[in-house]
Amino acid sequence: MTENLDIEIPLFAFSHCRDVVAAVTKAGGMGVLGAAWMTPEELDMSIEWLEREVDGRPFGVDLVFPGTAMDDEKSPAEYLASIPDAYMAFVRDMLDRGGLSDLTAEDRDAFMAENAVKMAMTNRKSRDQLDVTLARSSVSLIVGALGVTPDWVVKEAHARGVQVGALVGSARHAVKQREAGVDLLVAQGTEAGGSVGSVASMVLWPQVVQAAAGVPVLAAGGVSRGSHILAALSLGCQGVWLGSLWLGTTEGELSPEMREKLFAAESEDALLARVMTGKPGRMLRTKYVDAWQAPDAPALLSWPMQSILNGYSYKRAEHARDLDYWTYAVGQVIGDMKGHTTVKSEITRLLNEYVDAVEELQKVTDID
Ligand SMILES: Cc1cc2nc3c(=O)[nH]c(=O)nc-3n(C[C@H](O)[C@H](O)[C@H](O)COP(=O)(O)O)c2cc1C
């Protein structure tokens, strides 16, 4: 797999932040840019930036293909308009009670309109993002977030010599993706940050390896130490795929205060809930998440309205510099993340720990 993709180490990094993607690729791994929130124009600019930055080394792009989940596709403005007033009022009252200063109505409306464009992941947007990605010959890998990768995506990517990967949370989905013709599977356990299934990595990884029937599998969900990499390889995976760990790096998308909020948390604080998107996902437990889970809270909105609505609290928390009502997708490895790092230092640490773990394993398995 590393030969196929022309990388030195089988370490893949998912990040919304192009600086992380570039740094991982430059370190010999494969950075994969999370493009779900980008407009096609923003994605094109980011790919162009990456091309200049990585100087011919391989990188990937992660896209969301909503597929049949979005039968009644609307424009971002229509999605925004379909959020009931009572829901905006619920969030506003919660934040007022928490003492967070509000935005002006003008700033709030402008931000919500912009956020709707980011969060409404429609089929039309995916189509445009794919066109932009395939038009640039620099992209080596396209990865589809959870959900079966549509046939036409695989065909069009392969026609341009681009490999296709897909995230799966169950062996059943692995079979479907394999049948769809993907080149690479990312087996993501429930420990992971973001949208997740319910099966833990220890059980899932070998199940997916078996179902993949020869298609290479990357281990995702709960990887933050070199010993995890050894475990992943022992369970039949060919590499690892990490997301949460990069949130603690200076190259990542979070402010120093947000990073510190994560460092103060433990693994138990990475809660599985539907608050961020309306679908099950793992996120930092905060007062905001608790308020949505309280018995008097309204039923959560469906995707993408819930994600659009959450932008209001995110922006207000940022504006008021009060992170008690902020939240972010993060996995259980949060309990291992205890201070500011860089991408390079994290990769060096992971590789050193991996070598130590191999040596330790040899000591216990050496029967001479
Ligand atoms: C902040 C954040 C956002 C994520 N967004 C996406 C996404 O848009 N598409 C996707 O395929 N995976 C997404 N993921 C999941 C990652 O691709 C990856 O599978 C996961 O982070 C691996 O587990 P870990 O968090 O334990 O490292 C996200 C993860 C995080 C932490």
What CA dihedral angle connects 17, 285, 260 and 47, to 10 degrees? 0
Give the pLDDT mean for 323-342.
Answer: 97
Which regions of the chain carry the CATH code 3.20.20.70? 2-70+121-249+341-361
Give the pLDDT mean for 227-246.
Answer: 98
Whether 115 shows a pLDDT value over 60: the answer reads yes
Going by pLDDT thresholds of 50, 70 and 90, the confidence category of residue 8 is very high
Give the pLDDT mean for 204-223.
Answer: 98
Whether 67 shows a pLDDT value over 80: the answer reads no
Which CATH architecture fits 2-70+121-249+341-361? Alpha-Beta Barrel (3.20)
pTM beyond cutoff 0.85? yes
Is ligand 1 within 6 A of the CB of residue 188?
yes
Is ligand 1 within 6 A of the CB of residue 13?
no
134 and 156 Cβ atoms separated by less than 8 Å: yes
Give the pLDDT mean for 325-334.
Answer: 97
Q: Look at ligand 1, atom 17, and give the residue with the nearest C-alpha.
A: 14
Going by pLDDT thresholds of 50, 70 and 90, the confidence category of residue 147 is confident
Whether 80 shows a pLDDT value over 80: the answer reads yes
140 and 62 Cβ atoms separated by less than 8 Å: no
CA 170-354-243 angle, 5° bins: 45
Q: Report the atom number in ligand 1 closest to the C-alpha of 224.
A: 27
Is ligand 1 within 6 A of the CB of residue 252?
no
Whether 69 shows a pLDDT value over 60: the answer reads no
Helix or strand run (H / E) with residue 229:
helix 226-234
Instruction: Kindly tell me the sign of the dihedral angle through the C-alpha atoms of 342, 346, 352, 353.
Output: positive
Is ligand 1 within 6 A of the CB of residue 194?
yes
Q: How far apart are the first and last CA of the chain?
A: 33
Is ligand 1 within 6 A of the CB of residue 167?
yes
Going by pLDDT thresholds of 50, 70 and 90, the confidence category of residue 35 is very high
Chain segment 37-60, per-residue pLDDT in tens: 999 999 999 999 999 999 999 999
Determine how β-strand 281-284 pairs with β-strand 194-195. antiparallel
Please give the sequence-ordered ranges of beta strands (E in DSSP) within 67-195, or none if there are none.
Answer: 139-144, 163-168, 184-188, 194-195
Indicate the range of 71-75, 134-138, 152-156, 321-325 predicted with least confidence.
71-75
What pLDDT is recorded for position 262? 98
Q: What are phi and psi of 31, to 5 degrees?
A: -85, 140
